[in-house]
């Protein structure tokens, strides 16, 4: 049984990583020691072959079963290792000269031959599949580090290059951007250029060479036959350049280990990624039908598109959940369309998928994470995640930009994110902007190039020019915060506070990562409320007023007061009615009317102005004949609750008097056809008797007279605590009302006998309308993005809870605050504040924002006009569809040449640029453009 190492191999669809297996000899104890050092300590090259960058599964780890070593002897893993790719030297050289830097590489000269194939004819034809012992031997002699001469730059058609993963992806994207693919869809007959080849690597120190063995038994026939066509089809010498800097360390470290241990060379099994040679093979074999060549292509699934109908418009589903297709183009002749990979929804993770797709398509940011971003990892920053979040995001970015179309499952990224941000754990729906804010901040801290932050003391303005002060603030900020996120996404505010008394002005310059813009209204909102009077013969009546959509409750009260001719000694109290009772009183004048929904039912009570905190009594109505359902009484209420101020609660009869006064306007008048005059006279007689009893303050009532008093009242009154299960306290006419003096609103339930329901017109009490009737609803309003910027930069007073301490007045003042844009970033992220909250509920604004796509001009809004161009072009949008209770996130992304696509979790669709503007737009992503790019 093999002992020492047990490596768990994990296969992913993007690239196969490099699993490593060693032959173990149970009789040689020290061999295990050597292999362990070779695996974990000797060279970064071996680390890259064994330990892939973050895999998709959280449990994708390697376990050790050799207990002859203590944990303290186990070396840590390198964070700078990358998988290895074999590509055309010429293809790599073009991209390297443009975007990649590094050494000149290590040159190998070699030859290749086929062994064990049997007959010579089979060797010539490359038909070695029939023999399982067939091998391709590639012998490569190391010539050492070499510079690329001018002649080699031109005549290097047949050379190979070994590059690491970040080099490969960087070059691939550079070629993709340079070519500018016109179509999303690859040709149906396009060949597949990326495949995994399992090889056996042997390092021969005596001859300073590498031997690569490609065995038929280790590979599928298609891969083996393609390898034969690459290395052996044409007899020639091979030149392989290693730019990954891995083999150099292989020789250096392995020589030292072998010298120390005295062991012989060992054969290493690994998987090499080969890209871009199918096209050259196909060109050589043009016009020649080769059954095995076709079979080699069958190992890679082919593309199949599907057409879906959505709102009558054809949408081509590029890559759906079940498609296992390839978008590889024709070798180096056709660059495959990159960046079209979707993300699986793990359960309400559409908010995360939308934000990620916008970020991984952000110019320069995607190039950074496809490149060697690990060199900037900051493992010492206590404010970050010790590099884990940046590594997880970088690995996910590379999976999404690899030449593949199978959707990616972001399991590992979500797990890493949740470990540092528990609010995103589980599978509840969240806000894409909140995730974006945390992710940008976390990536910045993980990639902060400043390892030790200096102390920066802020100086007073001292009437210095704003330019000088702003630059000083920015230098202090950069001295502590220097990352790709700061380079691309951070700008600077100019924030000013003005004292309303002494006019003292305080100016600061603060950094920002994104702009959160309010949605102002350009139209008026028509709102209908029911006005109820607490005195006089006036019956309830609806009244419709117009209020600005971005108005406050104070604006609504003023409009209502004007419409109903409110007296100076009166006030309006607005309450929301639900289930025939008051559920909340709208008494904060600063609350936005956006918090009032169209289907709310509001009542405006006309009350005398409150000067001494007089309690309010709410009278709710209920039929006296209770219905019993499942042995429990039904307390179903009816009508609009009535409201009154009361100061005297010494006797329950005061409650009765106040209620009779409120319902007097609802008493139906006597006539020959409807109301019997005797009933009316009886009610009037009861009222007179009650007044006589109550006004006689000197009368001493005994128990018998109290019972007589109760008997003359047809209504019954109960104190209601609002708890269905709690017992209701009946109010006695001759006893004090048991209430708390500190209670502002006293709820009284009035029990109506059937006779009284017939005598009063209770139907009037049921005339309660919605705030906005369906017939009054207008089409969704439209507002310009520039208006949102204006509203954001508008001067406004601070709230009472945010008082500013004025250094001149030596007191807290309600200062006026003004924001201005001083320095704008290269990538401008704009968050549209569609969601509003209060203590009762949440609300979403469906306002259509008309945002520019090609030229968003902020020149007139920016103070610092000399350093950069302030024109921006849209390249991504995070959309939210639905309401607060549930919704769905998608993303629109531009892929160049004015081509847009929609990322809906794992599905990717092309979309017309005219359809980018919708009322679902939630977060907008802009990139700076030059004036020359503006048409």
In angstroms and rounded to an integer, the radius of gyration of the C-alpha atoms of the chain is: 39
Q: In b/e form, how buried is each residue of 70-87, taking b as 16+ CB within 10 angstroms?
A: eeeeeeeebeebbbbbbb
Structure tokens, 785: 């993005």
Q: Cα separation of 893 and 911, whole Å?
A: 9
Say if residues 447 and 377 touch (Cβ distance below 8 Å).
yes
- Which residue is listed with tokens 């994708």? 60
* Per-residue burial over 222-232, b = 16 or more CB atoms within 10 Å of its CB, e = otherwise: bbbbbbbbbbb
Q: Which residues pair with 398 in a beta bridge?
A: none
The region, left, alpha or beta by phi > 0 then psi within -120 to 50, assigned to residue 65 is: alpha
> Dihedral of the CA atoms 875, 877, 878, 879 (nearest 10)?
-160
Q: What are phi and psi of 712, to 5 degrees?
A: -80, -10
Phi, psi dihedral angles at 363 (to 5 degrees):
-55, 145
Nearest to 656 by CA among 715, 696, 705, 704: 715
Spatial separation of the C-alpha atoms in residues 881 and 891, rounded to whole Å: 11
The active-site residue out of 203, 350, 499, 564 is 350
DSSP string, 436-491: HHHHHHHHHHHT-S-SSPPP-PPPP-TT--HHHHHHHHHHHHHHH--SHHHHHH-E
Burial (CB < 10 A; 0-12, 13-18, 19+), residue 855, is middle
Tokens at 708, concatenated: 């007589």
Q: Please state, in angstroms and as integers, the Cα–Cα distance from residue 478 to each residue in 449, 474, 487, following that order.
A: 10, 6, 10
H-helix or E-strand containing 175?
helix 165-179
Cross-strand partners of 517: 832
Here the tokens at position 34 are 């050597």
The two structure tokens encoding residue 905? 């979790």
Q: Is there a contact between 833 and 843 (Cβ–Cβ < 8 Å)?
A: no
**For residues 897 and 183, what is the distance between their CA atoms, to the nearest angstrom?**
10
Contact 478/450 with Cβ under 8 angstroms? Answer: no
Residue 152 CA, chain-centre distance (Å), reads 48
Scanning the structure block, which residue is given the tokens 């008309």?
850
Alpha helices in 289-371 (DSSP H): 291-297, 350-360, 365-370
Give whole-number Cα distances, 118 to 82, 111, 124, 135, 488, in Å: 38, 20, 11, 11, 61
Residue 350 catalytic?
A: yes
Sign of the dihedral defined by the CA atoms of residues 443, 448, 454, 456, in that order: negative
Residue 3: closest CA among 67, 75, 77: 67
Which spans in 285-379 are helix H? 291-297, 350-360, 365-370
What are the percentages of helix, strand and coil residues in the chain, rounded to 5? 30, 25, 45
3-state secondary structure of 807: coil
> Residue 763 gets which letter from DSSP?
T
Question: How far apart (Å, rounded) are the C-alpha atoms in residues 336 and 338?
Answer: 6
Residue 613, sorted as left (phi over 0), alpha (psi -120 to 50) or beta, turns out to be left
Q: How far apart (Å, rounded) are the C-alpha atoms in residues 736 and 654?
A: 10
- What amino acid positions are annotated as catalytic residues? 350, 888
């Amino acid at each position: 049984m093999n002992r020492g190492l047990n490596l768990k191999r994990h296969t992913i669809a993007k690239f196969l990583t490099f699993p490593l297996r060693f032959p173990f000899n149970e009789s040689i104890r020290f061999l295990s020691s050597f292999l362990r050092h070779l695996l974990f300590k000797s060279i970064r090259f071996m680390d890259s072959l064994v330990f892939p960058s973050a895999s998709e599964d959280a449990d994708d780890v390697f376990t050790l079963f050799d207990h002859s070593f203590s944990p303290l002897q186990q070396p840590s893993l390198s964070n700078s290792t990358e998988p290895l790719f074999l590509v055309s030297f010429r293809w790599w050289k073009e991209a390297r000269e443009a975007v990649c830097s590094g050494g000149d590489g290590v040159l190998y000269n070699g030859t290749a031959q086929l062994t064990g194939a049997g007959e010579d004819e089979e060797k010539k034809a490359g038909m070695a599949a029939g023999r399982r012992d067939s091998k391709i031997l590639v012998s490569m002699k190391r010539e050492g580090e070499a510079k690329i001469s001018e002649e080699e730059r031109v005549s290097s058609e047949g050379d190979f290059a070994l590059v690491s993963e970040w080099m490969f992806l960087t070059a691939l994207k550079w070629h993709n951007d340079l070519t500018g693919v016109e179509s999303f869809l690859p040709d149906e007959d396009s060949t597949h250029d990326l495949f995994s080849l399992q090889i056996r690597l042997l390092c021969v120190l005596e001859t300073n060479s590498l031997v690569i063995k490609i065995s038929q038994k280790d590979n599928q026939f298609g891969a083996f036959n393609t390898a034969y066509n690459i290395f052996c089809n044409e007899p020639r010498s091979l030149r392989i350049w290693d730019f990954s800097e891995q083999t150099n360390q292989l020789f250096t470290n392995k020589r030292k280990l072998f010298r120390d241990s005295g062991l012989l060379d060992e054969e290493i099994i690994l998987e090499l990624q080969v890209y871009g040679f199918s096209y050259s093979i196909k060109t050589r074999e043009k016009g020649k039908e080769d059954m095995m060549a076709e079979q080699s292509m069958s190992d890679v699934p082919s593309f199949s598109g599907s057409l879906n109908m959505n709102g009558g418009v054809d949408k081509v589903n590029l890559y759906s959940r079940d498609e296992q297709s390839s978008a590889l183009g024709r070798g180096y002749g056709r660059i495959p369309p990159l960046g079209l990979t979707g993300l699986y929804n793990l359960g309400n993770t559409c908010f995360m998928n939308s934000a990620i797709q916008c970020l991984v398509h952000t110019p320069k940011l995607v190039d950074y994470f496809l490149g060697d971003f690990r060199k900037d990892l900051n493992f010492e920053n206590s404010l970050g995640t010790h590099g884990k979040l940046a590594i997880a995001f970088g690995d996910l970015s590379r999976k999404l930009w690899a030449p593949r179309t199978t959707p990616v499952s972001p399991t590992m990224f979500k797990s890493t994110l949740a470990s540092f941000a528990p609010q995103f754990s589980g599978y509840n729906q969240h806000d894409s902007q909140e995730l974006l804010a945390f992710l940008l901040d976390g990536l910045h801290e993980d990639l902060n190039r400043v390892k030790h932050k200096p102390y920066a003391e802020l100086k007073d303005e001292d009437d210095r020019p704003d330019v000088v002060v702003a630059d000083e603030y920015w230098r202090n900020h950069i001295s502590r915060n220097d990352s790709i996120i700061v380079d691309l996404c951070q700008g600077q505010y100019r924030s000013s506070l003005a004292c309303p008394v002494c006019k003292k002005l305080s100016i600061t310059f603060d950094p920002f990562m994104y702009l959160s813009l309010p949605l102002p209204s350009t139209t008026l909102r028509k709102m209908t409320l029911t006005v109820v009077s607490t005195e006089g013969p006036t019956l309830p009546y609806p009244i419709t007023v117009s209020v600005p959509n971005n108005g406050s409750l104070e604006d609504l009260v003023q409009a209502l007061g004007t419409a109903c001719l409110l007296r100076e000694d009166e006030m309006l109290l607005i309450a929301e009615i639900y289930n025939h009772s008051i559920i909340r009183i709208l008494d904060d004048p600063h609350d936005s009317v956006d918090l009032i929904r169209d289907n709310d039912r509001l009542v405006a009570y006309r009350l005398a102005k409150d000067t001494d905190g007089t309690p309010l009594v709410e009278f709710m109505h209920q039929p006296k004949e209770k219905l019993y359902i499942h042995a429990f009484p039904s307390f179903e209420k009816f009508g609009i609750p009535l409201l009154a101020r009361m100061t005297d609660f010494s006797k329950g009869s005061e409650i009765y008097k106040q209620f009779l006064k409120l319902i007097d306007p609802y008493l139906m008048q006597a006539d020959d056809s409807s109301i019997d005059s005797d009933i009316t006279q009886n009610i009037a007689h009861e009222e007179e008797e009650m007044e006589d009893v109550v006004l006689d303050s000197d009368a001493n009532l005994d128990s018998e007279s109290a019972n007589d008093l109760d008997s003359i009242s047809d209504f019954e009154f109960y104190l209601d605590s609002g708890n269905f299960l709690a017992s209701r306290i009946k109010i006695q006419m001759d006893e004090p009302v048991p209430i708390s003096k500190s209670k502002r609103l006293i709820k009284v339930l009035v029990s109506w006998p059937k006779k009284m329901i017939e005598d009063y017109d209770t139907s009037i009490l049921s005339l309660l309308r919605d705030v906005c009737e369906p017939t009054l609803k207008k089409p969704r309003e439209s507002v310009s993005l520039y208006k949102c910027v204006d509203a954001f930069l508008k001067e406004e007073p601070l709230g009472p809870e945010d008082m500013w301490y004025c250094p001149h007045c030596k007191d807290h003042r309600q200062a006026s605050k003004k924001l201005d844009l001083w320095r704008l970033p290269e990538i401008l992220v704009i968050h549209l504040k569609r969601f509003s909250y209060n203590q009762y509920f949440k609300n979403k604004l469906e306002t259509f924002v008309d945002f520019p796509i090609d030229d968003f001009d902020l020149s007139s809004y920016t103070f610092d006009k000399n350093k950069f161009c302030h024109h921006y072009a849209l390249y991504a949008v995070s959309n939210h569809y639905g309401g607060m209770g549930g919704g769905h996130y998608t993303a629109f992304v531009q892929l160049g040449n004015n081509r847009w696509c929609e990322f809906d979790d794992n599905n990717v669709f092309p979309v017309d640029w005219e359809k980018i503007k919708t009322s679902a737009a939630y977060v907008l992503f802009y990139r700076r453009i030059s004036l020359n790019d503006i048409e």
